[in-house]
Chains A and B, each alone.
Chain A
């Protein structure tokens, strides 16, 4: 990785979830989409693959992308990869006696994102403009890139989404202490 690459876009690390058990697929799907829409992201389901069922169940693959123009110059992008294996429907009796259809199988999820600078590509028209942009990113807004926008995307957008999925799946490690890292006002 070159030092200059850092100043075009700042990528976040990837967080993974692997789960094997029973979950409410419809609820999970709607909750995630609802979260992204609620946070004013433009949501795109780029790929939806329904593979030929095996004796163990169905395999489905989703690739989602959500983007939001944070400011005139920067944009937040969240990429989600979602894969279910051996999924099959099971009838579950709820506490109140009603029955509901859940999904049993395995899930693999990946969450990552990046902050794109100059997302409208206004400063790429000539080499001079590109140099100006480079100077601006490297010396003028560098602190904000490191300490504000990246943190906002990571701790305010991606991590809560990750935690939301953990809560929906009722995982043991749900909840996290870094929720107020970027301030209490969201």
Chain B
């Protein structure tokens, strides 16, 4: 089995308000496409509920950064109480959705995705030595890249949702952040 390490674990974003949902999904897709990331949609669930539509959407994206390392992002969106609302933007009628949204971001670094070093225990041992000591600087560099990229996507989504990007009330920020 390939060696998978969690680098970003459940980075969370919550939002309640108006959003162009189709535009939102397309924006995430475009961001991934621009960075040359391949993707698959793991979950595409949509259900009518009494208070409005409920959606669960999960996508896994990956990029082979070398022939040995692969970075994997997992983005999961839970969207509750989706109700269509007519709004006016630039003097034009636009239909947007009012909803409550919870997003989770996970980032993984996968070593040996072609399973070349996992057929015998000795090979697995060699692989571990290689990752942890010989190739350590490169491994860390890939980990930094995952953290950077996911935070950039987080920022991008915040900008799209028009949340307070730079200023937040102290009550909404965890105590160790300032």
- A residues contacting B by CB (< 8 A) are 1-3, 6, 12-13, 15-21, 106, 151, 154, 162, 166, 169, 171-178, 181
Which of A169, A172, A174 has the most chain B CB within a 10 Å cutoff?
A172
Q: Is the CB of B46 within 8 A of A19?
A: yes
Q: Is the CB of B26 within 8 A of A172?
A: no
Set of chain B residues within 8 Å of A18, measured between Cβ atoms: 43-47
Q: Is the CB of A171 within 8 A of B115?
A: no
Q: Is the CB of A173 within 8 A of B45?
A: no
Set of chain A residues within 8 Å of B40, measured between Cβ atoms: 12-13, 15, 154
Q: Give, as a whole number of angstroms, the nearest-CB distance from B152 to chain A.
A: 17
B132 within 8 A of A: no
Among B5-13, B28-36, B142-150, B153-161, the one that faces the other chain is B28-36
The size bracket of the interface on B is: 20 to 34
Q: Is the CB of B115 within 8 A of A173?
A: no
Please list 27 pairs of residues, one from A and one from B, whose beta carbons are closer than 8 Å in the complex, sorted by A's number.
A1-B1, A2-B115, A3-B115, A3-B119, A12-B40, A16-B41, A17-B44, A17-B45, A19-B45, A19-B46, A20-B48, A21-B48, A151-B38, A171-B46, A172-B25, A172-B46, A172-B55, A172-B82, A173-B21, A173-B22, A173-B44, A173-B55, A174-B22, A175-B22, A177-B29, A177-B30, A177-B32
Set of chain B residues within 8 Å of A17, measured between Cβ atoms: 44-45
User: How far apart sit A20 and B53, CA to CA, in the bound complex (Å)?
Assistant: 9
User: How far apart sit A20 and B50, CA to CA, in the bound complex (Å)?
Assistant: 12
- B residues contacting A by CB (< 8 A) are 1, 21-22, 25-26, 29-30, 32-33, 38-48, 53, 55, 57, 60, 82, 97, 114-116, 119
In the complex formed, the residue of A with least CB distance to B40 is A13
Q: Is the CB of B44 within 8 A of A16?
A: yes
- Known contacts: A3-B114, A172-B25, A177-B32. The answer to whether A16 contacts B47 by CB under 8 A is no
Q: Give, as a whole number of angstroms, the nearest-CB distance from B145 to chain A.
A: 21
In the complex formed, the residue of B with least CB distance to A171 is B46
